[in-house]
Amino acid sequence: MPKRVDVRERRTLIADALMRVAAAQGLEAVSVRHVAAAAGVSVGMVQHYFRTRDEMMVFALDVVRDRNQARVTAALSALGPDPQPRAMLRTLLVTVLPLDEQSRADGLVALAFLAYTAVRPAGVKSDDTAQMLGFIASLLPDPDAAVGVLALMEGLGMYVLGGQYTAEQALKALDAQLDLLF
């Protein structure tokens, strides 16, 4: 056998290139060749790690989700021990909003993937929504309000991505909602 290689790392390298292409030119521009070029590797190598384009897409989608999850976890644990529920919730929501340039790129990719998966009948959809919903509900005086809170966050993120809302507007709306709920 030749040099053993960290498969996961190689796949992630390619997925990163995919996301750069998708953030810059949309999912339509994500072809095996483009991604290979963006990653600075050969088409053959991409094929070596992903048998089909779809496999590559699904993996990239997973990476995006994991990144978001990690961001949230990091932000929450940065709050120190025993934070107030409201502070935790606000941190969670702010973290997911596409406010800085990096999370904005991630948001664009996630949006593209959302439209992508909305059509695919063979759902690769994990139910991290249900999990998120449960977590939000546990922080809320009225657990039933979690559905609305999550939707509000998603909508705010949408409009920030689209440029119709500024980051300040989104944060203000979010805090106003927290004032109503707590």
Partner DNA sequence: GTTTTTGCAATACGATCGTATTGTCAAGCG
Partner DNA sequence: CGCTTGACAATACGATCGTATTGCAAAAAC
How far apart are CB 118 and DNA at their closest, in Å? 19
Residue whose C-alpha is closest to residue 106's, from 95, 118, 117, 121: 95
Using CB under 8 A as the binding rule, whether residue 101 contacts a copy of itself is answered as no
> What CA–CA distances, in Å, run from 77 to 26, 80, 117?
33, 6, 31
Smallest gap from residue 156 Cβ to a copy of itself (A): 4
Q: Is 40 left (phi over 0), alpha (psi -120 to 50) or beta?
A: left
Positions in 32-51 near DNA (CB under 7 A)? 32-34, 41-45, 47-49, 51
Asked if 165 and 154 touch (Cβ cutoff 8 Å), the reply is no
Instruction: Using the minimum distance from each CB to a copy of itself, give the nearer residue, 26 or 83.
Output: 26
Question: What residues from 38 to 57 belong to the interface with a copy of itself (CB under 8 A)?
Answer: none
**17 touches a copy of itself (CB under 8 A):** no
Estimate to the nearest angstrom the gap between the alpha carbon of 151 and the chain centroid: 15
* Residue 123 DSSP symbol: -
- Residue 87: is it exposed, middle or buried by C-beta count within 10 angstroms (0-12/13-18/19+)? middle
Judged by CB under 7 A, the chain residues 4 through 33 that form the site for DNA are: 4-5, 7, 10, 29-33
Q: Which residue has the tokens 């998708």?
A: 22
In the list 2, 40, 44, 162, the residue contacting a copy of itself (rule: CB under 8 A) is 162
Asked whether 178 and 142 are in contact (CB, 8 A), the reply is no
Query: Would you tell me which residues interact with DNA (CB under 7 A)?
Result: 1-5, 7, 10, 29-34, 41-45, 47-49, 51-54
Query: Would you tell me which residues interact with a copy of itself (CB under 8 A)?
Result: 24-28, 108, 111-112, 114-116, 118-119, 125, 127, 129-130, 144-145, 147-148, 150-156, 158-159, 161-165, 169-170, 172-174, 176-177, 180-181
